[in-house]
Structure 1
């Protein structure tokens, strides 16, 4: 990765329910969780993010930031709000979603667990730039993890319930952990067994 990264192309685009999410102090944030959308494009990810899944609060599941294949960074939720993106870690974390097909559309089919789409160089450069900016803004931010590091649940496969598959595999085997970790000051966190 080049030492001088281009400026971050941040596009604020708040979800309709953003203000209904729980707010938090910056000191609560010590973790960034990297996801991939496991959807075909940003438009589909946005539609999913806008879906209200929790009737009581009128909110849904979403990361804070979405990094598209062209390197653009879309902020769906301000980090001052707790987003629903990783079970058990939301109050302390910022969720970053990378647009990538992952296992789409057969997420839990045992015959379709490969995650073959590589992340683009523009995506990874934008991600690193975003992580560097977040590190400067959140002094207690010290950890980074993949969704697969923190949610290791196995579930019955959709094609054969006698088989189990990982509930979450993102960001997956194509994610360049070495390059990203070499360019930031955050330490990779793994869930306790």
Structure 2
């Protein structure tokens, strides 16, 4: 009888270890990507990036990390989900395509995919055509969490393995690419000031990603 109890205990401990060591997971939570969003995306690629193509896709070589400055996952989703951008005149002058990102990370580190990895999203001026965006729930009044640092690192490692990512930058670092061969924005005066996700978060993230030697400048 004791041997059966011992076996049961061993099996219980093994199953507990598997639960606590769960593999990295992505949950699909798609935003609208209909014919109108694709039309606006293709228009953006042509007018803002000078790229003409038949499908609104990208060849990812960069990951840009953001924060949302919106307090919850669902409210952020409601911002990104509409096809058309509203209430931001500094952006609508360039295009009526709504802002979005391919991924959204909640404060507990849960990762949601809003768009397929290679689908175009408007999130970083001059670099959208080659960049996957990762948005993190938080902002100046809600500093990003340790769980988000870990989740971003795991997600970026996954994307690197899948796409051969070369660059990882914070949104506030995109200015460094102006004037480089990677920068594709047809209007040199079209810029917005960004502080997200900040040097502190990127330092923690880069420490976790250090073995992969990602570039942060052109």
TM-score normalized by structure 2?
0.63
- Pick one of 179, 189, 192 that aligns with 2:216: 189
Q: Measure the CA separation in 1 of the matches of 2:60 and 2:213.
A: 13
Q: 1:50 aligns with which of 58, 62, 81?
A: 81
- Cα deviation 1:74-118 (Å, max 9, x = unaligned): 111111111000011000100000110x2xxxxxxxxxxxx2533
In structure 2, distance between residues paired with 1:18 and 1:190: 34
> Equivalent residue for 1:10?
26
- 1:105-152 Cα deviation digits (max 9, x unpaired): xxxxxxxxxx2533222111111110110010012x111111111148
- Give 3-state SS (helix, strand or coil) of 2:76's partner: helix
For residue 187 of structure 1, report the CA deviation from its aligned partner: 2.2
Q: Does 1:143 align with 2:167?
A: yes
Q: CA RMSD in A?
A: 2.6
- Point out 4+ residue stretches in structure 1 off by more than 3 angstroms: none
Aligned length, in residue pairs:
156
CA–CA separation in structure 2 for the residues paired with 1:173 and 1:179 = 9
Whether contact under 8 Å (1:151, 1:168) holds in the other structure is no
Question: When you count strand as a share of all residues, which structure comes out higher?
Answer: 1
CA distance in 1, matches of 2:96, 2:31: 12
Question: For the residues of structure 2 that align with 1:6 and 1:129, how far apart are their CA atoms?
Answer: 12
Identify which range, 41-50 or 90-99, moves more after superposition: 41-50
1:85-104 counterparts in 2 under 5 A?
A: 85-100=123-138, 102=139
Alignment of 1:4-43 (within 5 A): 6-17=22-33, 20=38, 21=41, 22-24=55-57, 28-43=59-74
Instruction: Specify the alignment match of 1:74 in structure 2.
Output: 112
TM-score by length of 1: 0.71
Change in CA separation of 1:18 and 1:98 when aligned onto 2, cut-off 3 Å: farther
Partners in 2 of 1:99 and 1:18 — Cα distance? Answer: 25
Partner secondary structure for residue 132 of structure 1: helix
Say if 1:65 and 1:18 are closer, same or farther in 2 by CA, change over 3 A: farther
Note if contact 2:102-2:114 (Cα within 8 Å) is conserved in structure 1: yes
